[in-house]
């Protein structure tokens, strides 16, 4: 998944990339509009952000930090991984300790 905020040095570069990838359109007055694909992607990313932000706050993380980190997690995690996590696919650390690293190699 592309992480536009981390990849580009300025807004102009990010806008050009988002246009090129079909997420944005610019009209004759230079106003930006999300495409249908852009809107769907934004909704999915926002859903991930809110999910992680709320879980971090419930875990005792400062709300401002939870917001920033929830945003990063929402932008970087694939939809497939998120859906599995949101469905309860995460394990507690002590449960994971019973696995060896070699158990996860493909």
pLDDT digits (tens, 9 = 90+) for 48-63: 999 999 999 999 999 9
pLDDT over 90, % of the chain: 69
Backbone angles phi, psi at 88, to 5 degrees: 100, 20
User: In 3-state terms, what secondary structure has residue 18?
Assistant: helix
Structure tokens at 66: 């939870």
Please determine, for residue 76, whether its predicted confidence score (pLDDT) is greater than 70: yes
Nearest residue to 2 via CA among 53, 83, 78: 78
pTM comes to: 0.76
- The Cα 32–Cα 58 span in angstroms is 36
Task: Provide the pLDDT for residue 1.
Answer: 47
Least confident of 3-17, 36-50, 51-65: 3-17
């Amino acid at each position: 998944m592309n992480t536009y905020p981390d990849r580009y040095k300025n807004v102009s570069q990010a806008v050009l990339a988002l246009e090129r990838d079909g997420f944005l359109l610019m009209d004759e007055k230079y106003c930006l509009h999300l495409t249908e694909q852009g809107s769907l992607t934004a909704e999915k990313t926002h859903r991930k952000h809110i999910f992680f932000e709320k879980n971090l706050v419930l875990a005792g993380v400062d709300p401002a930090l939870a917001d920033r980190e929830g945003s990063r997690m929402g932008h970087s995690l694939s939809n497939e991984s998120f859906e599995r996590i949101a469905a309860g696919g995460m394990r507690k650390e002590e449960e994971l300790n019973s696995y060896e690293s070699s158990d996860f190699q493909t």
